[in-house]
């Protein structure tokens, strides 16, 4: 890999994580190509990149094998973020989830075999399923629910993505780096597809009830998108990163009840906090996970990476962003 500024392809680069990654790469004088079909991404997210001499955008689906082959020929690194994500879309459009996620990753890998960039594949903490143990380590056993419940199709699609990526490394010598994201949060994240912090914050800012699903005792760890981007850039260049899966996430565990209280305080809101049974929100049989906590020792050992921004530092950034766009939501 070149020692100078690299050329990156970022699929899904108009999305939440992707747009922050694009900005960080351009700030490091890298060249960046983005492929995005704008099904969930927004060109507004790339406002600071459009017009930059090192930035190119292609409006296309990641499943377009011809387009992927053409753009991959020009790059040193592919960071594949394009996917159908969010509880809402997973529940309502399982066919789209499975077909887009698996076919998109296959198209990326097929193109990469021809042109030989390093490929980072975005996976998810959802692959841990019901959580055999917590904190979750990359080599832990994985346990999903039955195929009769579409709630698990996203996790299964991401597991296939990981298997496929590692198979391409084994059979073809392609450098692949699958990474599992745990509840990334920050400005530009939308609450439209079930992401909890922007949903809570938007409700608080509008003075609407903050709706906590279930009893609110379930816990998650949130990681600021800026910290996630640092990890991805580190994984994209480290000579020893390829061939292993990495957890990328925060380690500050918070319950949904506590999160709702902290959001209300940051928003300066009087919104009531209301708990809704899952049956009132999701189809029959929906299962939630009580705890989801990453073990990030593998990433820390490789890169010396640690989250720098606490949840208390991130929430005001989410508030300020949502206040600036609230009239559009």
- Write the secondary structure of 44-96 as one string of H (helix), E (strand) and C (coil): HHHCCCCCCCCEEEEECCCCCHHHHHHHHCCCCEEEECCCCCCHHHHHHCHHH
- The residues carrying an active-site annotation are 154
CA 177 – CA 112 distance, rounded (Å): 13
Query: What's the pLDDT at 28?
Result: 97
Choose between 289 and 118: higher pLDDT. Answer: 118
Average pLDDT over residues 89-98: 78
Q: How many other C-beta atoms lie within 10 A of the C-beta of residue 130?
A: 13
**271 in a domain, yes or no?**
no
Domain that holds residue 127: 7-182+224-249+293-307
DSSP class per residue in 1-29: --SS--EEEEETTTSHHHHHHHHHHHHTT
Residue that the structure tokens 């199709």 belong to: 153
Share of residues in the chain with pLDDT > 90 (%):
82
Average pLDDT over residues 74-85: 92
**208 in a domain, yes or no?**
no
Q: How confident is the model at residue 87 (pLDDT cuts 50, 70, 90)?
A: low
Query: What's the pLDDT at 149?
Result: 85
CA 305 – CA 222 distance, rounded (Å): 16
Residue that the structure tokens 């076919």 belong to: 103
Q: How confident is the model at residue 88 (pLDDT cuts 50, 70, 90)?
A: low
Q: What is the pLDDT of residues 211-269, one digit of tens each?
A: 999 999 999 999 999 999 999 999 999 999 999 999 999 999 999 999 999 999 999 99
Specify the CATH number for the domain of residue 131.
3.40.50.720
Tokens of 248: 């990328």
**171 in a domain, yes or no?**
yes
* Residue ranges with strand state E in 157-300: 176-181, 184-185, 210-213, 219-221, 223-224, 246-248, 253-255, 273-276, 291-292
Coil vs helix vs strand at 206: helix
Query: What's the pLDDT at 132?
Result: 81
Enter the pTM of the model: 0.95
Average pLDDT over residues 174-189: 97
Choose between 99 and 20: higher pLDDT. Answer: 20
Cis peptide before 135 (omega within 30 of 0): yes
HSE-up of residue 163 (Cα within 13 Å, Cβ side): 10
**302 in a domain, yes or no?**
yes
Tally of domains within the chain: 1
Query: What's the pLDDT at 328?
Result: 58
**55 in a domain, yes or no?**
yes
């Amino acid at each position: 890999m070149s020692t100078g500024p690299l050329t990156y392809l970022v699929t899904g680069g108009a999305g939440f994580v992707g747009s922050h990654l694009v900005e960080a790469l351009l700030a490091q004088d890298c060249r960046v190509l983005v492929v995005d079909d704008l099904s969930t991404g927004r060109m507004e997210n790339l406002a600071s990149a459009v017009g930059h001499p090192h930035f190119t955008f292609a409006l296309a689906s990641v499943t377009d094998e011809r387009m992927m082959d053409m753009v991959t020929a020009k790059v040193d690194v592919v960071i594949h973020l394009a996917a159908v994500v969010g509880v809402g879309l997973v529940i309502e459009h399982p066919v789209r989830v499975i077909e887009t996620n698996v076919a998109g990753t296959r198209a990326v890998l097929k193109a990469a075999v021809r042109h030989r960039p390093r490929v980072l594949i975005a996976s998810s903490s959802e692959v841990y399923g019901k959580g055999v143990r917590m904190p979750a380590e990359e080599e832990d056993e994985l346990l999903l629910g039955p195929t009769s419940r579409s709630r698990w199709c996203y996790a299964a699609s991401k597991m296939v993505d990981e298997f496929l990526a590692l198979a391409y490394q084994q059979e073809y010598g392609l450098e692949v780096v699958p990474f599992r994201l745990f509840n990334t949060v920050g400005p530009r994240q939308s609450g439209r597809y079930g992401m909890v912090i922007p949903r809570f914050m938007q409700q608080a800012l509008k003075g609407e009830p903050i709706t906590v699903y279930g009893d609110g005792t379930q816990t998650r760890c949130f990681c600021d998108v800026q910290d996630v981007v640092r990890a991805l850039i580190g994984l994209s260049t480290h000579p020893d990163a390829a061939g292993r899966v990495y957890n990328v996430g925060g380690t500050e565990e918070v319950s949904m009840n506590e999160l709702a209280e902290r959001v209300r305080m940051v928003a300066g809101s009087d919104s009531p906090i209301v708990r809704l049974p899952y049956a009132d929100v999701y189809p029959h049989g929906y299962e939630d996970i009580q705890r989801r906590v990453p073990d990030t020792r593998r990433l820390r050992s490789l890169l010396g990476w640690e989250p720098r921004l606490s949840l208390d530092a991130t929430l005001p950034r989410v508030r300020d962003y949502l206040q600036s766009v609230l009239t559009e939501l």
